[in-house]
Amino acid sequence: MTAIGFIGLGVMGGPMAANLVKAGFDVTGFNRSPAKVERLVAAGGRGATSAAEAVEGADVVVTMLPDSPDIEAVLLGGSGKGDDGVLARLAPGTVVVDMSTIRPDVARSLAAAGAERGIGVLDAPVSGGEQGAVDATLSVMVGGEAATFDTARPVLDAVGRTIVHVGPAGAGQTVKAANQLIVGGTLQLVSEALVFLDAHGVDRSRAVEVLAGGLAGSAVLDRKAPAMLARNFDPGFRVDLHHKDLGIVTAAAREAGVAIPLGALVATLMASLRAQGHGDLDHGALLLQVEQLSGRADD
């Protein structure tokens, strides 16, 4: 039975680890908060009191952490040289699957650090949210070596539904970044359209109905516009996190010399929404800012 060390048992990682247990894997989990480790134990997994303990004897290590520095600290350790992190403890042939959303260049350097030790490292960020994690219906965008992908495939199948190997190391994060660019931009476009329609006295529910059926149709229009029109901005996906992700997008575009004028403007607008104190709202709250800038804020 494949032994999995799982680091990061939060909102996403917790149910994912539980699904791995359910699928028959031998899962040992670690999280800074012991309560989350206990939840995994209650679900049939094993608990560890450190990352090092969690990965001992693991065939596959899965990480699900908030941001680039977190995953670097866990895998490479404090010095940044990799001598006291998890990578240094793993046997050659082990596979690491990082499912966090981080910078593509960090993902590439982690893969390189793994390769030096004979360890395959995949970047495998997900989309689908907490519900997708619970239901094991996540979409997973995987970057790394094909052979490593094949090895990790059964693990990924246990947590997601659409599993696509999109390219070499970093490619998974790049696709996730592109995803966040498109989603953020579409939310802003739909917000602009909704305020535009309102200002011209149009029945917005009917307008959304006809827009959704044509070339303007999108998952954002289908899944987010109704809540936006109902002024329900409970997350969902928080502005704070989308802001973090758009930072990854703009940095990666800058690194590669890619012109993303709309992306840069969306990143500015998301940052403004956060600076105005709305970091905890759903990202559909971009609508509030368009209303504000149009002199149509409620208050």
* 165 belongs to the binding site for a second copy (CB under 8 A): yes
Looking at 33-41, 53-61, 144-152, 289-297, which segment touches a second copy (CB under 8 A)?
289-297
**Residues within window 69-88 making contact with a second copy, judged by CB under 8 A:** 79-80
Helix 239-256 to helix 104-116 angle (10° resolution) is 70
How far apart CA 85 and CA 74 sit, in angstroms, is 6
Residue of 36, 176, 224, 244 with catalytic role: 176
In the bound complex, what is the minimum distance in angstroms from residue 216's beta carbon to a second copy? 4
Q: Which of 11, 41, 147, 258 binds a second copy (CB under 8 A)?
A: 258
User: Which of residues 38 and 105 has its CB atom nearest to a second copy in the complex?
Assistant: 105
Per CB under 8 A, the segment of 1-9, 40-48, 85-93, 243-251 that binds a second copy is 243-251
- Structural Rg of the chain based on CA atoms: 21
Measured CA to CA, the distance from residue 283 to residue 289 in angstroms comes to 11
Number of Cβ within 10 Å of residue 209's Cβ equals: 11
Q: Rounded to the nearest 5°, which phi and psi values hold at 269?
A: -70, -35
Q: How far is the CB of 142 from a second copy (least distance, A)?
A: 9
Q: Which of 199, 231, 232, 234 binds a second copy (CB under 8 A)?
A: 199
Q: Which one of 9-17, 28-36, 52-60, 166-174 is the stretch in contact with a second copy (CB under 8 A)?
A: 166-174
- For CA atoms 92, 97, 100, 102, the dihedral sign is positive
Q: Which one of 177, 239, 248, 288 is in contact with a second copy (CB under 8 A)?
A: 177
CA distance 53 to 37: 13
Total of chain residues touching a second copy, rule CB under 8 A:
88
Smallest separation, CB 207 to a second copy (Å)? 5
Sort 189 into a burial class: Cβ within 10 Å, 0-12 / 13-18 / 19+: middle
- Number of CB atoms found within 10 A of residue 260's CB: 18
Which CB atom, from 49 or from 268, has the smaller least distance to a second copy? Answer: 268
Q: Give catalytic status of residue 22 as yes or no.
A: no
CB of 277 to a second copy, least distance (A): 6
On the CB side of 174, how many CA atoms lie within 13 Å of its CA? 17
Nearer to a second copy, 39 or 108 (CB): 108
Q: By CB under 8 A, name the one of 252, 281, 287, 288 that touches a second copy.
A: 252
**Nearer to a second copy among residue 48 and residue 248 (C-beta):** 248
Q: How far is the CB of 56 from a second copy (least distance, A)?
A: 29
Q: By CB under 8 A, what part of segment 223-242 binds a second copy? A: 223-224
**Contact pattern from residue 110 through residue 129 relative to a second copy, giving x for each residue in contact according to CB under 8 A and a dash for the rest:** -----------------xx-
Q: Which stretch binds a second copy (CB under 8 A): 12-20, 36-44, 86-94, 190-198?
A: 190-198
User: Please, is 131 exposed, middle or buried when counting C-beta atoms within 10 Å of its C-beta (0-12, 13-18, 19+)?
Assistant: exposed
Kind of pairing between the strands at 138-143 and 126-127: antiparallel
For the range 128-137, what are the long-range contacts, defined as Cβ-Cβ under 8 Å and sequence gap of 24 or more? 128/160, 129/236, 129/237, 130/11, 130/12, 130/15, 132/160, 133/11, 133/12, 133/13, 133/14, 133/15, 133/16, 133/19, 133/159, 134/15, 136/16, 136/19, 136/160, 136/161, 137/161
Q: Which residues are catalytic?
A: 176
